[in-house]
Amino acid sequence: MRSVIQRVKRASVTVHGETVGQISGGLLVLLAVGQGDGADDLTWMVDKLVGLRIFEDEEQKMNRSILDVGGEILVVSQFTLYGDCWRGKRPSFSSAAPPEQAKEMFERSVEAIRSYGLKVETGVF
């Protein structure tokens, strides 16, 4: 699994002109599932995501996690994180999981994050 994590004051995802996911503050997570990713990878990624201390404490040190600040998370599927541009001009996505497997792992990841009591919004897979 791969992810890009960004702190945000607000974020939303729009599909065909309709907002399908929106948060007021917390983390925007672009999440990709790779070939061979399994339950252990999912657990590691979710634990890392909710435990990352990337929010400031009262001394302006990045010392608080999303759990500590009670933020929200917007998770967006992004298979292009597995794009390989090593050869040629066209990226290869052969390392990304097949859509059926990726969708299942994406949904399980979202549920695992929600199990921490966090508000989670998503895009459309």
Two tokens, residue 81 = 């994180």
Q: Is 101 a catalytic residue?
A: no
Q: Is 79 a catalytic residue?
A: yes
- Cβ atoms of 2 and 82 within 8 Å: the answer is yes
Q: Which residue among the candidates 6, 19, 43, 80 is catalytic per the annotation?
A: 80
Determine how β-strand 26-32 pairs with β-strand 55-56.
unpaired
Two tokens, residue 11 = 């974020």
Q: Which residue among the candidates 55, 78, 106, 122 is catalytic per the annotation?
A: 78
- Cβ atoms of 88 and 77 within 8 Å: the answer is no
Q: Which residues are catalytic, by number?
A: 78-80
